[in-house]
Structures are given as C-alpha cells and as structure tokens.
Structure 1
Amino acid sequence: MKQPIESARALRICLVCNTAFAIYTYRQGLIRMLVARGVEVTVIAPRDRTFDLLKEMGCRCIELHVASKGTNPRDDLRTMWSLYTLYRSVRPHIVFHYTIKPNIFGTIAAKLAGVESVAVTTGLGYVFIQQSRAAQIAKLLYRFAFRFPREVWFLNKDDQAAFLDQKLLVHPERARLLHGEGVDLDQFSFTPLPTRETFSFVLIGRLLWDKGVGEYVEAARRLRATYPHARFQLLGPVGVDNPSAITRADVDAWVREGVIEYLGEAHDVRPLIEAADCVVLPSYREGVPRTLMEASAMGRPVIATDVPGCRECVADGVNGLLCEVRNVDSLAATLAQMLDMSDDERRAMGARGREKVTKEFDERGVVERYKDVTRQLTGVSL
C-alpha cells in the first residue's frame, strides 16, 4: 500500500523528453510553479546546453540516450530499460512524457516500474506525415503503450481526432484536449510594429524539412526581384537529431546564395520576434506551435500552412494568413500578400493576434491543468 503524500514538498515529478531544450523552452511556467511549491522536479533528456539553465531554475537533470533518428529496436529497448531503471531509483509520483519515443517507451517503462504517467502528444510529426513502414510500426506501438497512461493529452483537436479515428487509444475516455501549451503573456509582451524601410520575415524553429523550410527558401528566391526590400531569415538549431533534419551545409549554401539570413540559435527569441515584421511557419503538421503563439502575443502578424496545429493559432485574414501545405506557389503568393498590405493593416492584424492569444493560449490555464491532474493522482494540491 502506497504511503499518503503529506505535502507538495514530498512530491517527486519527472519531465521526460527527447530534448532538454524543449523542456526549457516550452515549460518554464510549469517548472517555476512546481519549484516554488517545493516539488522535486527531475528533467530526464539528452544533455544539451539547457541542462545548466534548467539546474539554475531548480531542476535535477539526468542524461538520457534517445535515438530520435533511429529505428533500431535495440536502441529503443535500451532507452526503455534506462527509464525503467531511473524510475525505480528516483521513485517519482508522476512522470510527464513528451514526444514520440518518451511517450511510447517511457510510458511502458513507467508501467513496469509501477509509476503513474501522463502522455503529452506535442505533435504527431512524421508518424502522420509519412506513409512508411516505420510510421505504421509507430502507430502499433502507440496503440500498445497508450493503454497505460492515466491521461493522454493532445494539443489540438485534429491530433486527438486522428488517434480516436484510427483506434489508437484503448481507453478513449482518458484523452484530454489541452489546446496548446500556452504562452507567458507577461514575458511575451505586446510591442507595436514600427515603420521601417526593410521588411523582415523570420521562420523560427528546429530547421527541419517537415517545417517547410525548403518551400520557404524557394519562395524567397521567387520574391527577391519583385520585393528587394524583403529579407528572409531563419532562426533555430541546425543538424538536429531528427529524420527530417536540414544540414549546416544546406543552410550555408542558402546564405552564400544571398537568399537567406541565418540568425543561429537564441535562448531568448523575444528581441528577434520584435525585430521581425512577420513570423512564418510553413510546417507540414504541428501540435500547437509555440513560435506562432509567441509572435502573436508580441503583436506580429503570422503566416502558416492550413494544417493541424497551425490553424489553431492562425485565423486566416484576422491575425495572419494561411497557405497550402507543401505548395511553394501558395506560400510565395501569401508572402507577397503580406508585403502588399499597408502598415496599418499589418498593425491591426498584430493587435488581433494579441487578443487571440490572450483569450485562447494563456499559459496560466495550462499550468492549472497540471495542478488538477497532480491533485487527482496524488491527492496533493499545488
């Protein structure tokens, strides 16, 4: 029989992901709340530059090997065994799993270790983009693993519907719609669009072909002659551990060509959003993309593809524009439409974006969901 937990200071919660960067970037509000309540927070992920930042926030960090690109069962079994061993050692009261391999193999490890878990599907990625044997195997693994979490959270209604329609949930009543992971509205404050001679588009995120980076580069090529004042920028990590990763050689070639400016990586994207006139994400599929929420919170109009996740953030013609996925002609036309707008039209679009994020994506509502599930599973109120 489990011992009752007397207070939040006795709670141990693990956050498990395929990158520590994602934990640090997307869940700071959650971490701040947990640490302030005295919860022991352990981040389990591959080591990267954010380990030290997470430790400064009060987290314990444990390195995990995850072969994000690989399909070798031995690597995945090693990941599962590592997590099982860690759960037996740390003895967390709840584990929150993020991204595909932690969701699948971490959930199974938690079940074997007798640990309560919640699976957060941050985006379905290649599993629902490609029609490959690996994708079919991933769906079978999802169907097996997702019988074990106490809850399965989805960030948009399309992803939830896909799991339900394809009968990937043995317990469909455990599905919950989180509607994005939220934005700190104080941190990403509204900054009006200034008037300037140049116009800067920026695509922010991991540099993946699945993010529509290739279409963005080709659209930039087509528009350079007609709109010489337009600048096309990329911001985010290159050569990441992902099947869809873009290489540094690709980026360097675009820079030499003069079609793209590469801004590198940034811990704090706010100055770069503020310096932009429009944030672009021509992705093939998303959970609910943080970059679009953050850009809208800061009053920037946005352009994205009409796909699951992106359409949650962009009301076409209201706070931004939508284009067709994998369609360079459509993206180029939409970028040109944004360039042809008046300053006042773009400012109004940005202001409506702030209103939308305030109403729909306030991070405080997401943190409350974590509090609710923690109370349900442990009896402790945070």
Structure 2
Amino acid sequence: MSPKKILILSNDVDYLYTLRLETIEKLLQSGASVALSAPSNDRVAFFEKLGCTFHPIEFSPRGKNPFSNLGVLLKYFKLVKKIKPDVVLTYTIKSNIYGGLVCRLLKVPQIANMTGLGKALMDDNLIQKVVLSLLRIAFKKTRTVFLQNTRDLQYFLDHSITTKEQSVLIPGSGVNLSRHPLESYPQDDGTVRLIYIARIIKDKGIEEMMVAAKVIHQKYPFFTCDIAGFIGEDVYESQLAEYSASGAGTYLGFQKDIHSLIKRSHAVVLPSYHLEGIANVLLEGASAGRPVLSTDHIGCRDTFDDGISGIMFAPRSVDTLIEAIERFINLPYDQKISMGLAGRKKVEREFDREIIVNEYMKAVDKIMQ
C-alpha cells in the first residue's frame, strides 16, 4: 500500500513552524508524505530537511484584490491536480476558502482549521456577506472543520457554514510543553516586569496597554512593560517610539524567540478584545510558569482561572487594566510564583498540543479508512 499523501496549505511558513510543527512531525512519523505550500521564507529549508516537499505560492495574507485572490485559487487548483493528495489540511482564511473551493471541485477530502472569526465575519457589511458565502461553498463537503472556542462553533452552526457532524471543538492550537518549559520565576529584585506580545493593532489593546503602563510606571517607577510584535497598523509606529522614550517599557519590534521574553518577565499581559480563537501567547506564558493578565473576552479568559493563575479585567478599559496591574504588583512574591505554577498545571491539563495532534491524526485516519 502506497503511503498517504498530505498537502498542507497556509499563508505563512512561520505559522506552520510555530503552531503546526508537531502535527507535521506526527504525519511524517506515520509514514505519510507531506507537501507544504505557503509564501516562501528562510524557514523552508528546515521543513525540507525534516522530510517535507515545499511548493511556494506567493500571496498577501490580507490582500483584498479580487484578481490576486483568483490567482491564489488557480495556483491551488494546479497544485492539487499535480500532487493528487489523499487529504488537504488548510489553515488561515485564504487557504481555508480557496483551498476548500479547489478540494470541493476536485473531490479531494479537506480538513480545515478556523483560528478565530476576524473582522471580515463580524462586521455587518458586504465583505462579511461575501466571506460567508465563500465559506459555505468551500466547506460544503469539508470532512472536518476544527473550531477553537464555543463562540466560533456556534457562529458557524448559526450561519449554516458547517454542520454539527463537520464541526469539532478543540482547545485552540495548544502549546508545546517542552518548547515552552516551566522556568524558574525571576528573582525578587525589587522590579516588576511585564511583557506584552502581540501583533500591534488596535483590537489587541495596544492603546490601553501603553496608557496603563505609563500611568503605573509614574506611580511605581520599578515597574516596566516591554512590548513585542509586528506593527500591523502604521499609526502606532510613532506612538511606540514615544512609549519607549517614556521609560514605561521598550518596544522590542518583532521577535522570534518569544520564550526568552516570557522567561525574563514576571507576567504576560494581553488586553485584547480581538476576535481570538485561543490566545497562544497566554498559553505560552502560562506554560513557562508566568501569571497572565488578560481580558474577560472569549479566547483570552479561556486560558486562565481568575485569581488562581491570572488576573482578569474588562476589555477596552484602561481603568480596570490599571487595577489589574496594581493588584499584581501588590501580590506577595510567593503568591506570584504560585499563580504561575497554577497556570502551568492548567495548560498541562487542558492545552497540551498533543491533544490537537491526536485530533488531527483521528481526522486523517477516518478519511483514510
């Protein structure tokens, strides 16, 4: 019997490395041949060394040009025709839609993963109607659609995008417990260092974060909050420079080594009201034994237990964010450590990436039977 052929479509090779590497490794270990397609970058060599083949398809993940998007569809069509995969796994919105359309047309089984809803689905406008229609068509015959929280699951059912039989709820993307090991808590040296890691956009609470951190730093000069992430909205470039000059923290730019940033910090903070699936950085922070401070917002509140492994505050609220940070600052050192350890235990119990890998293997095996 020839080995099963798996094709994986995504908009980003780094995404596959950061969040899907364990699934790819498991597929290779099972004897499958694995082909990857995404815009190319320097991570491709790693995957080729691992044993995958790579088929670059260049496109802008957020581009709305219909002719460019049609080009992605045609390239996917040619690729699937060429490889003749037994199963196609799709990640990220464009790959889900255009990969799904191709799979439906060519009668190739598809497994899709939705990592959140995004503005395109939540804004009541023409774009929403177009995206809804495309998803319904693309997912009509999809074998499994993984959804990361109960809000997204209900949305897909209510809008007739998927059926109950297709829809599978999983705990986000999970976290690799060995890649994000439990770390010793920073020494009690009289400072409190928070880290904010996210794409720099309004919905991730960057404005609230900068205002709150500057207020707290004025009151508690030993407090800082560094900020790391790719600037997704240009308006924040000058604001981040001003923030760094204030002394409240440093804008570190985009960083690949997230774990080191978490390791040197006392807690991870994310004042997001973005339409998250599950906020991965909060899982990674908790996995390293750091308390998390985040919003009472789906995709964030799921990752911690308020008062036990983190501190919750209202979304879009500078005042409650300030209160949460002050509450954290005033916790005894031993309680900060205990909070971080409780987060690690929760992640081990509920968000181990092996849970996600096993769900994928079950979905692939079901198709191959």
Give 1:277 deviation, angstroms: 0.7
Report the Cα distance in structure 2 between the residues aligned to 1:48 and 1:238, rounded to whole angstroms.
19
Alignment partner, residue 137 of structure 2: 144
Question: Is residue 111 from structure 1 mapped to residue 104 from structure 2 by the alignment?
Answer: yes
Instruction: State whether residues 121 and 131 of structure 2, in contact with CA within 8 Å, keep that contact through their aligned partners in structure 1.
Output: no
Instruction: State whether residues 233 and 263 of structure 1, in contact with CA within 8 Å, keep that contact through their aligned partners in structure 2.
Output: yes
Letter in 1 for 2:101: I
Letter in 2 for 1:125: G
Q: Which moved more, 1:45-54 or 1:294-303?
A: 45-54
Instruction: State whether residues 224 and 249 of structure 2, in contact with CA within 8 Å, keep that contact through their aligned partners in structure 1.
Output: yes
SS of equivalent residue, structure 1 residue 140: helix
Alignment partner, residue 342 of structure 1: 332
- The TM-score, its normalising length taken from structure 2, stands at 0.93
Residues 98-128 of structure 1, C-alpha deviations (whole Å, 9 max, x = no match): 1111111111012223321111001112234
SS of equivalent residue, structure 2 residue 218: coil
Q: 2:118 aligns with which of 125, 129, 132?
A: 125
Letter in 2 for 1:187: R
**1:231/1:49 Cα in 2 relative to 1: closer, same or farther (>3 Å)?**
farther
SS of equivalent residue, structure 2 residue 6: strand
**1:118/1:130 Cα in 2 relative to 1: closer, same or farther (>3 Å)?**
same
Instruction: State whether residues 154 and 176 of structure 1, in contact with CA within 8 Å, keep that contact through their aligned partners in structure 2.
Output: yes
Alignment partner, residue 287 of structure 1: 277
Q: 1:309 aligns with which of 292, 299, 310?
A: 299
**1:330/1:20 Cα in 2 relative to 1: closer, same or farther (>3 Å)?**
same
- The TM-score, its normalising length taken from structure 1, stands at 0.90
Instruction: State whether residues 283 and 325 of structure 1, in contact with CA within 8 Å, keep that contact through their aligned partners in structure 2.
Output: yes
Instruction: State whether residues 205 and 272 of structure 2, in contact with CA within 8 Å, keep that contact through their aligned partners in structure 1.
Output: yes
Give 1:350 deviation, angstroms: 0.7
Alignment partner, residue 42 of structure 1: 35
Report the Cα distance in structure 2 between the residues aligned to 1:197 and 1:133, rounded to whole angstroms.
53
Q: Is there any run of 5+ residues in structure 1 with no aligned partner, and where?
A: 1-5
Alignment partner, residue 3 of structure 1: none
Give 1:354 deviation, angstroms: 0.9
**1:134/1:40 Cα in 2 relative to 1: closer, same or farther (>3 Å)?**
same
Q: 1:254 aligns with which of 221, 229, 243?
A: 243
Q: Is there any run of 5+ residues in structure 2 with no aligned partner, and where?
A: none
Instruction: State whether residues 208 and 246 of structure 1, in contact with CA within 8 Å, keep that contact through their aligned partners in structure 2.
Output: no
Alignment partner, residue 84 of structure 2: 91
Over the matched positions of the two proteins, sequence identity in percent amounts to 30
Instruction: State whether residues 108 and 148 of structure 1, in contact with CA within 8 Å, keep that contact through their aligned partners in structure 2.
Output: no
Letter in 2 for 1:277: H
Question: Is residue 355 from structure 1 mapped to residue 345 from structure 2 by the alignment?
Answer: yes
Report the Cα distance in structure 1 between the residues aligned to 2:235 and 2:19, rounded to whole angstroms.
22
Report the Cα distance in structure 2 between the residues aligned to 1:248 and 1:16, rounded to whole angstroms.
32
Report the Cα distance in structure 2 between the residues aligned to 1:282 and 1:326, rounded to whole angstroms.
8
Report the Cα distance in structure 2 between the residues aligned to 1:131 and 1:221, rounded to whole angstroms.
35
Report the Cα distance in structure 1 between the residues aligned to 2:299 and 2:234, rounded to whole angstroms.
20
Report the Cα distance in structure 1 between the residues aligned to 2:133 and 2:262, rounded to whole angstroms.
40
Question: Is residue 374 from structure 1 mapped to residue 359 from structure 2 by the alignment?
Answer: no
RMSD (CA atoms): 2.0
Give 1:61 deviation, angstroms: 2.3
Alignment partner, residue 264 of structure 2: 275
Letter in 2 for 1:189: P
Letter in 2 for 1:312: D
Question: Is residue 19 from structure 1 mapped to residue 8 from structure 2 by the alignment?
Answer: no
Question: Is residue 189 from structure 1 mapped to residue 189 from structure 2 by the alignment?
Answer: no
Alignment partner, residue 167 of structure 2: 175
**1:209/1:33 Cα in 2 relative to 1: closer, same or farther (>3 Å)?**
same
